[in-house]
Amino acid sequence: MSGRGSTERRPLSSPRAAAIAGVLFAVLFTAALVLMRSALPETLSGDPDWLDQAAATRISIGLGLVPFAGIAFLWFMGVVRDRFKESEDQLFSSVFIGSGLLFLAMVFVSAAIAGGIVATVPFFSDAGTRAEITTFGRALMLQVSNIYALRMAGVLLISLATMWLRTGVMPRWLAFVTYAVAVVLLVVTTLSLWVTLIFPAWVLAVSVLILVQNYRRGTAVRAASG
């Protein structure tokens, strides 16, 4: 009993391969956005004919990728937070977690709206009714994803860049680049889905850098032990 009670508890650390989650998120989320964007018209219009069978299929495939991208994003957030260890700032960490979860929730809501449009439009034979549903649904989807979700992504980047500057766990240049990307996400007002691709591109760059750092650290440890 005494030996078991005296055993030191070692804190868990995320596996190095978990950084691949950011790469998966970037790939899946980008693929979903491209599929949906290629099916949507450039501007809002009252023409319901854009939602043909081919467009509905592309949107459905994209929507099927969104949940898996969300799961990968949760793992990415865990990997990023794990790198702070004991130096984590509770204030900025709370903002980081909250904004990340809000971003993900709004992405899911936007995807659900798109799925609702695809599922309900075939049940209306009147062209005017279909046009009203598709126009309103698409406008609502873009408002949620491009206005509110991107703002939460910008807040996430600001809090994360601030913690990187304070702790030094990531290069300073990456923190300043993150600030710049955050400003773009906060001030952009366009309803184009292409703007959203800025965020997965940033996640991909950070994930690749973490993977490179993990590889170098592992190589150094093996060289020192050998």
Q: Is residue 49 domain-resident?
A: yes
Q: Is residue 109 domain-resident?
A: yes
pTM here is: 0.83
Look at residue 12 in the predicted model and tell me its pLDDT. 47
| Cα–Cα distance list, 212 to 75, 170, 206, 216, 218 (Å) | 18, 12, 10, 6, 10
Confidence of residue 132 (pLDDT cuts 50, 70, 90): confident
Q: Is residue 5 domain-resident?
A: no
Please determine, for residue 15, whether its predicted confidence score (pLDDT) is greater than 90: no
Please determine, for residue 210, whether its predicted confidence score (pLDDT) is greater than 80: yes
Please determine, for residue 10, whether its predicted confidence score (pLDDT) is greater than 60: no
Look at residue 45 in the predicted model and tell me its pLDDT. 61
Q: Is residue 4 domain-resident?
A: no
Q: Is residue 103 domain-resident?
A: yes
Per DSSP, 52 falls in state -
Q: What is the average pLDDT across 36-65?
A: 76
Q: Is residue 6 domain-resident?
A: no
Q: How far is CA 138 from the centre of its chain?
A: 20
Look at residue 205 in the predicted model and tell me its pLDDT. 92
Look at residue 42 in the predicted model and tell me its pLDDT. 63
Burial letters 28-40, b for 16+ CB under 10 A, else e: bbbbbbebbbebb
Q: What is the average pLDDT across 213-217?
A: 73
Confidence of residue 6 (pLDDT cuts 50, 70, 90): very low
Q: Is residue 7 domain-resident?
A: no
Per DSSP, 38 falls in state H
The domain tally of the chain equals 1
Give the tens place of pLDDT for each residue, 39-52. 776 666 656 566 67
- Taking alpha carbons only, the member of 142, 205, 134, 139 closest to residue 175 is 205
- Output the average pLDDT for the chain: 81
Domain of 133, in residue numbers: 19-83+91-209
Please determine, for residue 224, whether its predicted confidence score (pLDDT) is greater than 80: no
Q: Is residue 173 domain-resident?
A: yes
Q: Measured at the alpha carbon of residue 145, what is the angle toward residues 140 and 147, in degrees to the nearest 5?
A: 85
Look at residue 2 in the predicted model and tell me its pLDDT. 46
Give the tens place of pLDDT for each residue, 141-186. 888 888 899 999 999 999 999 999 988 888 899 999 999 999 988 8
Please determine, for residue 11, whether its predicted confidence score (pLDDT) is greater than 60: no
| Cα–Cα distance list, 191 to 109, 133, 142, 144, 147 (Å) | 16, 18, 6, 10, 8
